[in-house]
Amino acid sequence: MSPSAPPLRLALAQSSGTPGDVRATLGALDALAARAAASGAHLLVAPELFLSGYAPDASAPPGPGAAPAAPLAALAVDRAEAQAALGAIGRRHGLAVLAGYPERAGSATYNSALLVGADGAPLAAYRKTHLYGAHERAVFTPGDRALVQAELRGVRLGVLICYDVEFPENVRAHAEAGTEVLLVPTALLAPYDFVARSLVPVRAFESQLYVAYVNRTGPEGGFDFVGLSCLAAPDGTTPARAGAGPELLFAEADPALLAASRAANPYLADRRTDLYR
């Protein structure tokens, strides 16, 4: 990213969609994309497992004659199906879109995120490598590729999912590989709001990159998501921060600020890798 390049405008979609109803959730994502495009965003980022819900089988309220909600694995789709759905939204509104979904691949199910461009073409596909808790481990196979990147408007993007960002090695690997804006769809639960408030901004500062951290919100199937989505900047600031409820948050990743911060905070250059490699 050239320091003289214009900022990359992001729209962070803090929402839980309609867990268990992929069609309704895609409709909500389409509406969010329309709002994002109208506000000049280049990229819309939705949370972890946005298309399906995090615990859809436990989220639908029971009622007389109500059909049982589908379990998470039953909502898994092939990557090509996810690409077609997200790509149609990207093309319709002229912006890139990233969203989390359960990916079916042979006999395995992955907790995945897919990034498509404004032309609908796939740009990056990532499978969560660090699964969190018994709920995720019961459904998903961990991914085995740590570093996934893409280029958008001259910016090098990277992708992690939720728990992945809590391991400093993951973020540092992206910094070493040249990632400038790290996209992190997440499903952060109460009472761990300190991750969004403190840990994520520290990750951005210590590895000198932007982190776009986009959370689910509200109760779902016994889980309670804290919101607090943010864009954390490499200079230690948080230019944009959501509250606890649904919100479409706008923020800009500024190449001039990134260059200035890396010059003032040369962590990557000053490391003594001969001591701790």
CA 56 to chain centre: 19
> What sign for the dihedral angle of Cα 201, 206, 212, 213?
negative
Q: Token pair of 11, please?
A: 């729209």
Share the mean pLDDT of the chain: 94
pTM, whole model, 2 decimals? 0.95
Q: pLDDT grade, residue 276 (50/70/90)?
A: confident
Residue 235 domain-assigned (yes or no): yes
Residue 277 domain-assigned (yes or no): no
Residue 276 domain-assigned (yes or no): no
Nearest to 172 by CA among 202, 194, 195, 145: 202
Helix, strand or coil, per DSSP, at residue 8: strand
Residue 106 domain-assigned (yes or no): yes
Query: How many structural domains are present in the chain?
Result: 1
In tens, the pLDDT along 125-155 reads 999 999 999 999 999 999 999 999 999 999 9
- Say if residue 120's pLDDT is above 80: yes
Residue with tokens 């309220």: 61
Catalytic site residue 162? yes
Considering 48, 103, 180, 252, which one is annotated as catalytic? 48
Q: pLDDT grade, residue 177 (50/70/90)?
A: very high
Helical ranges in 14-125 per DSSP H: 22-38, 79-93
N- to C-terminal Cα separation, the chain: 28
Catalytic site residue 252? no
Burial class for 79, CB neighbours closer than 10 Å (0-12, 13-18, 19+): middle
Residue-range definition of the domain harbouring residue 55:
9-61+68-271
Catalytic site residue 230? no
Residue 100 domain-assigned (yes or no): yes
The CATH number covering residue 121 comes to 3.60.110.10
Helix, strand or coil, per DSSP, at residue 226: strand
Residue 227 domain-assigned (yes or no): yes
DSSP E strands in 145-266: the ranges are 149-152, 155-159, 181-185, 210-214, 217-220, 223-226, 230-232, 240-241, 247-253
Considering 103, 136, 162, 166, which one is annotated as catalytic? 162
Collect all residues with Cβ–Cβ distance below 8 Å to 115 and sequence separation of at least 6: 96, 97, 98, 122, 123, 124, 125, 150, 157, 159, 183
- Say if residue 156's pLDDT is above 80: yes
- Say if residue 38's pLDDT is above 80: yes
Residue with tokens 């991750």: 195
